[in-house]
Amino acid sequence: MLSALNIRLVAQNKTSQFDQTLFTIDSLITLKEFDKAQQIIDQNFQFSSSSDDTENRLDLNFRAIQILNERGGSEAALEKVLVGLEKAKIIDSPQLYIKHASYLALLLNNSQSYKKAIYYNRLALKKARSIQDTLNTIKLLVRVGSYHFAEEKIDSARYYFINAINYPANKKYIKDKANAFNNLSVITLYEGNYALAEKYAEKSLKITKKQNDVIGTAYAKANIGNVYLYQNKYKTAVTNYLESLQNVIENDSKKAILIKNTLYDNLFVAYDSLGDYTNAYKYILKSYDAYEKIVDDDLTKTMDEIAAKYNLALEKQKTEEEKNKALKIKGWIYVLAIALSILLISFLIYSKTINLRNQKKQNLLRSQLQNRIINATIDAKEKERRVIASILHDSVSALLSSANLHLKAAKTQLKGDIPVEIGKAEVILIESSTKIRDLSHELISAILLKFGLTMAVQDICEKYSNSKLEFFSKAKNVKRYNQKFEIKIFSIIEELINNILKHSKAASGMISLSDTGNKLTVHIMDDGIGFDVKEGKGKAGLGLSHIDARIQGMGGVFNINSKKGEGTSVLISVPIHEKKES
């Protein structure tokens, strides 16, 4: 028998070995070697099946959730981390509870559900404080402060950041304190307290330099540059921006590209204010290049997520087919043992039946896959339209407005007659801003985003009405819903209105919206020439069949009633996606 000392030593050795395994898995996840990390997780699951190993298995499962999220399965990861959180609570493991609650907050923050992110982050923070876990306490204080800052609750954000910096210095959590100082610098800068903003940024810079944290150093120097930019000390601002840029100039990570994009923008403003238009032009071009890389990376990630979901569905389908094959083989062997003669007759009948079923199943699967591809394609296009509209509205339009302001400022400084070219430049800038604004509104309706479906449908009716065709709209109990849901419904309505304009030869049309509690009903009618519904659904392109697939993907019903010479009536009913908390 082992002595008590021996038992304790064995347990310590086992824990140390498992910790080393977790360290290896974490390192592989950081390097994005997901297959190797998952293989080690699966092996450890296989050899740790006893009930005493529950905590270890939950720790392994947490890494599996991280891999799932990194591979694009954010929704599935969200569900699994919620289950893990409950298990950690049941087995009373504070560290695992903190891990799951804080990771859940991170996932919710990434989906812009800031209130829920704050709720779960506070749960993790409360648990960390209860067990006097200073490392996690400071990390969670900075995170919850960031979530409040994203909600523009500045006082709440300041409260948590100040709590974080008041902890004594320790190299284990020194980077988190640097982040807190940097965030406080941003807050005080916006409030106009330049001296305090610079003081906080300098403290962050001192820490990041000592830790050789190039990204953190770049952020701190950039914030110092911002302090001088806000005070119109453009030369000092340029010096700090260029020093910040040197830290990340060779770094192609996403964080580095984001800060380079910001630095290029700020250098453009500073050089432009100094009248150095050569350098201003140089850095605005670099800003465009950096922004395009960010957008390209986001679109690539979106398409990778779609591909991952599609491949997962395909693998499930193959697994089901293999199971069905195995069941069929067993059935045939059993029948053969009873009577060969009965088998032969049954086989002919059964074979025909199976062929028909398989054909129906294949047709159904083909239809489902086609619908998924259609929905994925349209979702990708809608996201691309949102991204382009955002770039036009938030970046290009803002730059044009900034250029116009600089022209106006220049006019006030000129003595004597103002050159004709400046006046023409102002007119060109105003016309460009108008066209950019109109183009961004065409990509995604601004009225839809601000005021919802009712106002957007009313606006499109007024927009497309003319002397030959007049549209009317009415709405009952319609309120604001999830933004993606509103965009999908509006794009379907817009497509159907375009069909009326192109093909119906109608004199009037009606768009009716009704919220019945859990479903949204859309009824679109016109008094035009009508058409053959079967023939209309069979046409290629993003026509009626693609609208049908779109609505099926939303779990809804799409019904068309039309005859030649009798007008057309379209009825759509879809489950409502309520507006999420921002």
β-pairing verdict for 557-562 and 470-476: unpaired
| CA dihedral of 560, 565, 566, 568, whole degrees rounded to 10 | 30
Task: State the alpha helices, DSSP H only, in 31-169.
Answer: 34-46, 54-70, 74-90, 94-110, 114-130, 134-150, 154-165
Q: What are phi and psi of 72, to 5 degrees?
A: 100, 0
Assign domain 451-575 to a CATH class. alpha beta
The ranges assigned to domains in the chain are 339-443, 451-575
CB 432 within 8 A of CB 400: yes
Pairing of strands 508-515, 568-575: unpaired
Which three-class secondary structure state does DSSP give residue 481? Answer: strand
Separation of CA 200 from chain center: 31
Q: Mind listing the pLDDT tens digit of every residue in the chain (582 residues)?
A: 333 334 333 444 545 687 888 888 888 888 888 898 888 888 887 766 554 458 888 888 888 898 988 888 888 888 888 898 898 888 888 988 988 888 888 888 887 788 888 899 888 889 888 988 888 888 888 888 888 887 788 888 888 888 888 888 777 778 888 888 888 888 888 888 888 988 888 888 888 888 888 888 888 888 888 888 888 888 888 898 888 888 888 887 777 788 888 888 888 888 888 888 888 778 888 877 766 666 555 444 544 444 444 444 445 556 566 666 666 666 666 656 565 666 666 666 766 667 666 666 665 555 555 555 555 555 555 655 555 655 655 566 666 666 767 777 777 777 777 777 777 777 787 777 666 666 655 556 667 877 888 888 888 898 888 888 899 999 998 888 888 888 888 888 888 898 888 888 899 999 999 998 888 999 999 999 988 877 765 553 346 777 888 888 888 998 999 888 889 999 999 998 765 443
CA distances from 554 to 74, 324, 482 (A): 19, 29, 13
Close Cβ partners of 335 (under 8 Å, ≥ 6 residues apart): 342, 343, 346
Instruction: Give the span between the Cα atoms of 422 and 404, in whole angstroms.
Output: 10
Residue 468 exposure: Cα atoms within 13 Å on the Cβ side: 7
pLDDT of residue 425: 76
8 A C-beta contact, residue 60 and residue 99: no
Which single residue is written with the structure tokens 């941003």? 186
Q: How many residues does the chain have?
A: 582
What was the pLDDT predicted at 511? 93
Q: Which residue has the tokens 């050899």?
A: 47
Q: How far is CA 243 from CA 140, 186, 329, 481, in A?
A: 30, 19, 71, 46
440 neighbors 392 (Cβ within 8 angstroms): yes
Instruction: Please report the pLDDT score of residue 526 as a whole number.
Output: 93
In angstroms, the CA 179 to CA 186 distance is: 11
pLDDT given at position 422: 74
Query: What stretch of H or E contains 472?
Result: strand 470-476
Adjacent-strand bridge partners of 568: 526, 562
pLDDT at 574: 92
**Which one-letter amino acid corresponds to residue 175?**
K
Residue 526, SS3 per DSSP: strand
Evaluate whether 456 touches 445 at the Cβ level (below 8 Å): yes
Backbone φ and ψ for 353, nearest 5 degrees, come out as -60, -45
Coil, strand or helix: which one is 575? strand
Between CA 342 and CA 228 the distance in angstroms is: 92
Instruction: Give the span between the Cα atoms of 221 and 488, in whole angstroms.
Output: 43
Give me the sign of the Cα torsion angle 419, 424, 427, 432: negative
The pLDDT of residue 299: 41
